[in-house]
Every structure is written in structure tokens, then in C-alpha cells.
């Protein structure tokens, strides 16, 4: 997959467009607003080292579920009879909410969701 870069007009700061070669004319950048033209004489290469951002978890089960309501239901892993639950709208508004469950058993803490 070829990478693309954005080039801007030095005169009016608009985004330059690329014009395909035609006849003896080489490929070039041109400004759609002013008469600026820049011929492309060599391969344009930009290298940028990307650094992965450390991601924080969206849901921290220990903190999030402390204040969540509880209900009587069976955990599918340990069969404990009480679970925490919460509902979040993660899809479009015309779709149902997603229910998240976490076992209240300290030694299990199994989590699952139902769409």
C-alpha cells in the first residue's frame, strides 16, 4: 500500500492536487486556487516513526463494578449466584444497549457481555 502525503501551496496554503503526466509533461502538483505549479522531478518519500500510545483500559472491572448494581443470576464459570451488571449504548441509538456482567465472587470476577 502506497503512503500518501499532503502538500500545501506556499502562496495561499491550500491543499495541492496532483496532475497526471500528459505527453512530455511530467506529473506535477498544482494549486486549484492560484497559478502555483510544482513539477515532481523525483520520488517523494516521507518517513515517520510511529510510537504506540499506551492505552488505558476502557473498563476497569475493580473500580467500575464497585458501584454497579447487583442481581441474582448465575456466573457461567463458577456458578456463583450474584453478579454485577451495567448497560452501555455502544452501537447506534436504534440498536439495543449492550449489557455487561461481572461475577461478584472475589476469586472469579469472570466478565461477559450480551448484545
Tell me the binding residues.
9, 12, 31, 34, 75, 78, 103, 108
Cell triple for 22? 500528459
Residue for cell digits 516513526? 49
35 to each of 2, 21, 31, 81, 94, how far by Cα in Å?
A: 28, 18, 6, 74, 49
As annotated, the binding site for Zn(2+) includes 9, 12, 31, 34, 75, 78, 103, 108
In this structure, the number of other CB atoms found within 10 A of the CB of residue 101 comes to: 20
Amino acid at each position: 500500500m502506497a503512503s500518501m502525503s499532503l502538500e500545501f501551496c506556499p502562496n495561499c496554503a491550500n491543499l495541492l492536487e496532483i496532475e497526471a503526466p500528459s505527453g512530455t509533461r511530467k506529473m506535477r502538483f498544482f494549486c486549484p486556487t492560484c497559478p502555483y505549479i510544482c513539477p515532481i522531478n523525483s520520488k517523494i518519500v516521507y518517513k515517520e516513526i510511529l510510537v504506540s500510545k499506551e492505552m488505558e483500559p476502557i473498563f476497569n472491572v475493580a473500580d467500575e463494578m464497585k458501584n454497579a448494581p447487583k442481581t441474582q443470576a448465575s456466573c457461567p464459570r463458577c456458578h456463583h449466584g450474584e453478579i454485577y451488571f451495567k448497560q452501555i449504548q455502544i452501537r447506534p441509538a436504534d440498536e439495543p444497549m449492550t449489557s455487561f456482567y461481572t461475577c461478584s465472587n472475589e476469586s472469579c470476577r469472570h466478565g461477559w457481555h450480551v448484545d
